Amino acid sequence: MEPKPHRSSGLRRFVPQPEHFAARYGNFTLTPRDYAILDLIYRYRYLEARHVRALITGSDQQITRRLQGLFHNRYIRRYASRQRMRPDLNTGAPLVAYGLELRGARVLAGHSAQVLAADGHPAQPVRWKKEYTRRTEWFLEHRLMISNFRCVLELALHQMPGVELVSWDQGQDTWLRATIPCSPRRSVRVAPDAHFTLREAGHLRHFFLEMDRSTEEHRRLLQKYLGYWWYLQSPHFQQANPGNRRVNVLFVTTGYQRMLNMMETLRNMPKPNRGGHGGKGLFWFCLQNGYRLEEPASILSTIWRTAADPTAGKELTICPSGEI
Domain segments of the chain as ranges: 11-135, 138-300
- Give the pLDDT confidence score for residue 119 in this predicted structure: 66
The more confident residue out of 139 and 183 is 139
Q: Closest by alpha carbon to 201, among 251, 148, 164?
A: 164
- Give the pLDDT confidence score for residue 19 in this predicted structure: 57
Asked if the 138-300 domain carries CATH number 3.40.1400, the reply is: no
Class of domain 11-135: mainly alpha
Average pLDDT over residues 203-210: 90
AA letter at 12: R
Average pLDDT over residues 298-312: 88
* pLDDT tens-digit series, residues 81-118: 655 544 444 444 557 889 998 899 899 988 887 776 66
φ and ψ of 216, to 5 deg: -85, 130
- Give the pLDDT confidence score for residue 25 in this predicted structure: 56
Task: Work out the percent of the chain whose per-residue pLDDT is above 90.
Answer: 31
Average pLDDT over residues 51-75: 91
Residue 11 has pLDDT above 70, yes or no: no
Q: Closest by alpha carbon to 232, among 304, 283, 185?
A: 283
Contact call for residues 222 and 272 (beta carbons, < 8 A): no
* pLDDT tens-digit series, residues 265-297: 998 888 766 544 557 888 999 999 999 999 999
Contact call for residues 30 and 74 (beta carbons, < 8 A): no
Handedness of CA 207, 155, 309, 213 (dihedral sign): negative
The more confident residue out of 114 and 151 is 151
